[in-house]
A and B are shown apart, each in its own frame.
Chain A
Amino acid sequence: MEEIKIDDKAIERLKRKIILQENMNLKTKTMSDQQMVSWIKKKIEEEAQCYFNR
């Protein structure tokens, strides 16, 4: 099976961004669960795309 390469640094960046955003959202409640899921997907796709383009 073809192995999918993952950028470890991107994973670290994503985790941090996501937890910060979750903490922020718990306080401000500006985003619904569905909006949070979309936001996370967008961030993952941006990071993965950067990695493809390198």
Chain B
Amino acid sequence: MLLQSIKLENFRQFRNESIDFADGNNGKNVTIIIGENGTGKTTFAQAFFWCLYGETEFSDKNMLNKVVASELRPGQEAKVQVVLKLKHGDVDYTLIREQIYRKDSSNRIKPDNTVFDIAKKDASGNTSYIKKSACESEVKGILPKELSRYFFFDGERIEKMSKDISNGKKAADFADAVKGLLGLNGMYSAIQHFNPRVRSSVISNYESSYNSQSNAKIKEYTDTINRCNAEIEQIDARIEELDSEIETATVRKSDKVKELKQYEEGEKLQEEKEKLQRKIAAAEKSKANVYKLMSKDFNGNLSSFFSISLIQRALELLSEKDFAGKDIPYMHAKTIEYLLKQKVCLCGTHLDEGTIPYAKVKELIDFLPPQSISTTIGDFKKESKRRAVDKKDLYGQLADHMAVISQQDDDLTDLRDDLAIVEGKLSGGDVRDKVRAINHEIQVCDQTIAKDRSERDRKIAEKARKESERDRADTERRNLTLLDETNKKIEIYKTYAERIYKELLVEYSTSEEKIRTRLQTTINDIFKQIYNGGLYLEIDEKYHISVYVTDYEGDVETSTAQSISVIFAFITGIIKMARDNRNSTDEDTKLLSSEPYPLVMDAPLSAFDKRRIKTVCEALPETAEQVIIFIKDTDGELAEDYMGDKIGSRHHFDKKNEFETTLV
């Protein structure tokens, strides 16, 4: 998405103003709009948001220009309109949002709902209008609202955004932004088009195409599979909800713990509590290890332990019998088998089945290798001796372990008693009301986390049961469908589809991990450029960003500058990577290319010193395909100095009065 122009009509202090944006022609991709404080920079920047999503961050939701409003006579109406032209992919879009305001007989101005229209012109020049009901989803396809804040942002909000990202509150949004912008959307769409849980997907389509006329059981199995899939979907949705609740409760608990530590007695008790909790966790872990050791000892020795008394009795019995010397030397059981088969003994006696000579010769097998009685008994005695030597005192071992566990249980009881005392103090009269209230909230968070985790575990087990039921039905159905030609074809197509789906899931996850690692490197490179080293960013698999201080030498920076550097680095990092993918010569990398996006920034430089402004101004036009900056006059002069050759469109706000600003 690259912005072409915006036109504002009666939108707050702008009566009729428009701007054409620099789009990268002749290497100029920066549009700069300079104005003193209060001239309407933020209003103009918010006009993008209003046009796209029908919302602004203004507390006054009345968008109609005050002069126009005051000139209206009762019964008359006036229109507020923003027209945004942009290019997305090969399509030119014109987005028009307007709102009619009417003055009633008591001189009150009342707005209608906003009306939103989208016209699109495709690559072949055909223009069509999107149905009203589809306009919002069309915008979502261009730039989802949750991602828009990364591209339309202001300097005042930026610090909060950065903190949200650093403490993981917006990790999911960030993850979506990265996946969407770094080209995983194509793969994601493909996965959705195969997803068996989506009713109209490729796999679902094949699922519903089986002809059950050849065998009624096919329908029965299909119904089972569909029911299981529906139930699995519900379970997944619940697991997602629980994950989100656990995450929210964890963040809230962490905030409350920090808050509690602001109070002297709260801090002391909380630290005591955390110390006890750590000790309890360590003791529980140690107890679990002893159980593990116990199981290992038991599994390793149970055979000897339970067999030893039987072995003793067997050896006593064997000692009364003498098998020595019964074996016939140099003969093998196979020799006897041969003689029985030939029906003649070596001495010439006939060996007919059922006769005494036959039975006598057959008995000899017991005294011949490989399994003669004396050999078997010899092996048994050897094994018995080995077991007797190896025999460990399993009972003694288990008794020792139980003694350790018993001691650990006593220690745990003591620690839990101490914890209950500290909890009691935190909730009782020893602390002020505020500390008590905060501690109560922490307890509520703990209860929520424990309850949700337990439900989550149950849901995961339930899901495994449903999956196994579904897979069984699938196997049974396959046995039947392969028996007739029409169903066999469907089965084969579905097998192809399932294999592609499975491989796409794996590739998506691998690509996502690679992209995350590459993004971390890119962000750190940009971060170094903006911040001159000193800090290092890490992104974990859940897209939580951690900032580490390295050996920074120089002035001590304020946290504001750090935060702004964080957000700058990651926004520009994403945009740079998307751009690198597009310009890559490698076909596989090109597969991950996505749309270019503009950076629309309101007062982005206000918290930076001159040196940082220079580095940011030099980095932005190189990184993003299109940059639109609303900036105050003093920063604007610096920005013009540093980005001069990249500026393709330049405007100044001229404030006529409190209710009207024009563009020069």
Contacts and interface: CB of A to CB of B under 8 A. Distances in A.
A18 B500 CA distance: 10
- Report the interface size class on chain B: 35 or more
A-B pairs, top 10 by smallest CB distance, nearest first, are A27-B89, A23-B186, A22-B186, A22-B189, A22-B190, A4-B495, A44-B496, A2-B482, A40-B202, A18-B190
Contact of A40 (B89, B193, B475, B495): B193
A52 B387 CA distance: 61
B237 interface: no
Given A2-B482, A4-B495, A41-B202, 8 more contacts: A11-B496, A14-B496, A15-B507, A18-B500, A23-B186, A25-B189, A26-B189, A29-B91
A27 B496 contact: no
Given A20-B591, A22-B187, A37 B89 contact: no
A37 B200 contact: yes
Contacts of B507: 15
Contacts of B493: 41, 44-45, 48
A28 B122 contact: yes
Contact of A48 (B90, B192, B496): B496
B499 A6 contact: yes
Contacts of A10: 496
A33 to B, nearest CB: 7
A10 B515 CA distance: 27
Interface string B249-291: 0000000000000000000000000000000000000000000
A34 B132 CA distance: 21
Interface of A: 1-2, 4, 6, 10-11, 14-16, 18-20, 22-23, 25-30, 33-34, 36-37, 40-41, 44-45, 47-48, 52
Contacts, number: 97
Nearest to A15: B500
B123 interface: yes
A25 B205 CA distance: 21
B87 to A, nearest CB: 11
B594 to A, nearest CB: 8
A40 B479 CA distance: 26
B193 A33 contact: yes
Contacts of B202: 37, 40-41, 44
Interface string B462-498: 0000000000000100110010000001011101110
9 contacts: A1-B478, A2-B482, A4-B491, A20-B186, A22-B187, A23-B183, A25-B189, A28-B123, A40-B497
Contacts of B496: 6, 10-11, 14, 44, 47-48
Contact of A1 (B91, B186, B479): B479
Contact of A28 (B91, B497, B499, B503): B91
B595 interface: yes
A15 B122 contact: no
A52 B500 CA distance: 18
B65 to A, nearest CB: 36
A30 B489 CA distance: 30
A25 B187 CA distance: 12
A40 B202 CA distance: 7
Interface in B192-230: 192-194, 200-202, 205-206
B592 to A, nearest CB: 9
Contacts of B478: 1
Contact of B193 (A1, A11, A36, A52): A36
Contacts of A18: 190, 193, 500
A11 B190 contact: no
B200 A33 contact: yes
Contacts of A20: 186, 591
Nearest to A44: B496
Interface string B48-60: 0000000000000
Contacts of A14: 496, 500
Given A4-B492, A47-B496, A27 B595 contact: yes
A6 B495 contact: yes
Interface in B70-99: 88-91
B499 A11 contact: yes
Interface in B549-606: 591, 593, 595
